[in-house]
Structure formats: C-alpha cells, structure tokens
Chains A and B, each alone.
Chain A
Amino acid sequence: MTSATQKSGPHEPVVFNYRMWRSDMRVQIQDTVVAGYLDRLCHQFSSKESESAIYFDVRGTSDKRWEILREGEVLATRKTRLGAARHAEWRMVREAVRAESEFIHWHGSALTKQGSTLLIPGKSGTGKSTLSLALAANGFQMLGDDIVFMDPVSGEIHPFHRAIRIHNDAIERLAAAGFPLDRDLHVGTFLEVEALRSWSHRAGPPLSHVFFVDWDVAGPVESIQISQAEAALELRRFSYTLKKSPPNRAWRVLQRILAPTVAFRVLRGQDLAAAVRVISKLVAK
C-alpha cells in the first residue's frame, strides 16, 4: 500500500502528508526504500497537504548514514534505512503528543469490550503490546498501542492507530495463545496496523479498568486490586501531559478519571493465555 502524495520524478524526493492525532506533518524523503518503510508504518495517517504542517526530511549523508530533520534542524542520525524510517515515525508521533494540550496522553495500550475500556500503562519494551494483541484476539478491540489519547472530561479514549512495536519472540508467543500473525506485515520490530483486524474506530466508553502489569514475575498469573489513590500515583508517571501539569491539577484530573474505575496489579508469568483469561474475567465482572 502506498500513500505518497507527490512524486515528481525518479530522482525527486517522495513527499508524504500525514495527520497524526490533531497535528499535520509533511515528510520529504530522498530514498525510495526509506520512503517505503515509512509508508508501511504510517499510511493509516495519510491526509491532504496542510499549510500548518510541521516539515520533516529524511536524507542520506556523505558517510552513508541517514539524517532526520525537523524544520531544517537535524534531530538524529541513523545507520540504516529502517532505523531512519522508524525514527522519523517516532519523531512525528512525539510531535503530535507534544502539540496536544486538551487531551491527556498515556503511554500504554487501551482496549474496549462490551461497555468497558481498559488501560494498560507501561514503558516501551515491557510486553504490553504483546498482551494487548493477545487480548485483541480474544474479543477486545484495540483503541491504541503505545500512545493513547483520553478526553479528560468524559474519560473516553479515542482511537489512535499507530503501528505496533513487538518483541522478537512475540509471534511465537502470540501463535501459542491462538493469535497467528502475518509475517509479511512486519516492518523490523513493528507490525503494520493491518496485522490487527480488531481496531476500534470509535472512542471507547469512559475508562473502567486500569491494569498495571508486572512482567518480571516468574510464576502463576495473579491479580491484586489496588486503591484508586495507588493507581493515581502510579498512573501519573505514564502521562506526559500530567507529568508536566502542576501536581494539584494532575491529582484533580486523576480523581475524576479514576472515579468510575477499578485498578489491578497483575503479576504475569510467561503464560500469555492465562493473563488474557484473568484480565477478561476481571473486565466481565
């Protein structure tokens, strides 16, 4: 699939226009392979050209590296084409997050099922995407992975369909949990959004469940309900928006958001299917 909006000749750069959440981006890429990677990661955000777009460039250097630039300023250099595409995607997503002041941004995954919306906050590389994909294979619809946007008044989580970053061993583990993935939809350690059919395209109902997952525990899956105060204290760490807010304001927002929720700490061993069963049961209660 391609979403190139301009391509004026064999030696001309490829230009993509994206709308990520509520920010417009325009990215110009010299190399067609880098452009191909970026398009696979971002085509779901394709949009019309916008005058207010933030400009990015990805270009080769004389020492066979790749530079990622924002408005003419070099942000980073990468050794590989795939690394350059991934970094450009991340920079644009970060820009979309930082431009947002009305919605709360969470670092985590969000899914919805039958009137419930659950949030799994977590840092990168902690396995939340693998768990979320397994939940999505078991009746949940994915609202967002890694970056989640929430209306702070209604508590609704809005869909943001970013490509999903997964562990190298995730395909085998997901297959064992009953969710085979198409390897053709891999872009390095990312999965194109088409790998997952159960995306939600509408905002989920207000947040109802928060799961803090401890990934390092070797043993059976266990869940422990925690107080909303404990959840608030922990949850603030996973929001760029709330981390930079004055504490008194952040706690008031969390008071409101968490009022209709129950929060759990889930101790997860290696049994992905068991973790899915435990979470599904808690959400169904």
Chain B
Amino acid sequence: MMRLIQRSDVTLFEMDDGSGLLHDESNGHTHALNAEAVAIWRSGVSWTPAELTEWLVANGRDEALARAGARTFLGQMRAAGLFEPASDD
C-alpha cells in the first residue's frame, strides 16, 4: 500500500475557524484546506490510506465514508504536490 509523506517545505497558515492555507513556496501556489484537512495535516507527516481511514474513524467518521474520504484526500493532496510517495515504497 502506497505511503505518502507531507512535503516539509510547505507552510501551513491556520485560520481562526480551523481551516488553513498551505503555501508552496517552490511554485507560489496556495491551497485552501477545510478544518478536517488541517487536522489531518497536523496529525502526522506520513499516511497510508488504511492509517488515514483508521484516524478518521477514531475521529468519528463512519467507516465506509472514512475509507472513501481517505483515498480522496490523499489523491487530491498528491495531485496538488503536497504529499509525495515515500521513497522506500
């Protein structure tokens, strides 16, 4: 299972309502995250879909929704270049 790692050179700006901005200085892009995505970003630097599913369930999500949510989140973050595949995978 693919393990993804957060880019360490991206800066998180947390907003008062829990949402956040991730600024990637390498290309000047900034992405808006909702409060749950910010919580995930802060909770760990690397994830597999299974680990993230487990984390979402532990935080109150229904398991089927959590599984789909984990895949979507990691897919979108990878597509945005904010997570990268771990080198030992």
Contact = CB atoms under 8 A, between A and B. Distances in A.
B11 A229 contact: no
B65 to A, nearest CB: 20
Interface residues of A, number: 14
A233 interface: yes
B49 interface: no
A247 B19 contact: no
A259 B28 contact: no
Contacts of A252: 13
A248 B11 CA distance: 8
A229 B19 contact: yes
A247 B15 contact: no
Contact of A251 (B16, B18, B30, B34): B30
A178 interface: no
A258 B18 CA distance: 12
B88 interface: no
A251 B23 contact: yes
A227 interface: yes
B19 A251 contact: no
Contacts of A260: 16
Contacts of A227: 15, 17-19, 32, 34-35
Interface string A242-258: 00000110011001001
Contacts of A248: 11, 23, 25
Contacts of B15: 227-229, 232, 255, 258-259
A255 B13 contact: yes
Interface in A225-243: 227-230, 232-233
A72 to B, nearest CB: 38
Interface string B17-38: 1111101010010101111000
Contacts of B19: 227-230
Interface residues of B, number: 18
A37 to B, nearest CB: 42
Contact of B23 (A228, A247, A258): A247
A229 B22 CA distance: 9
B39 to A, nearest CB: 13
Nearest to B28: A247
Interface in B19-66: 19-21, 23, 25, 28, 30, 32-35
A228 B21 CA distance: 9
A140 to B, nearest CB: 24
A259 B30 contact: no
Contacts of B32: 227, 229-230, 232-233
B59 to A, nearest CB: 18
Contacts of B14: 255
Nearest to A256: B16
**Which of B14, B21, B25 is most buried by chain A, counting CB atoms within 10 A of its CB?**
B21
15 contacts: A227-B15, A228-B15, A228-B16, A228-B17, A229-B13, A229-B20, A232-B13, A232-B15, A233-B30, A247-B25, A248-B25, A251-B23, A255-B15, A258-B16, A259-B15
Which 7 A-B residue pairs are closest in the complex by CB-CB distance?
A227-B19, A229-B19, A228-B15, A259-B16, A229-B32, A251-B13, A230-B32
Interface of A: 227-230, 232-233, 247-248, 251-252, 255, 258-260
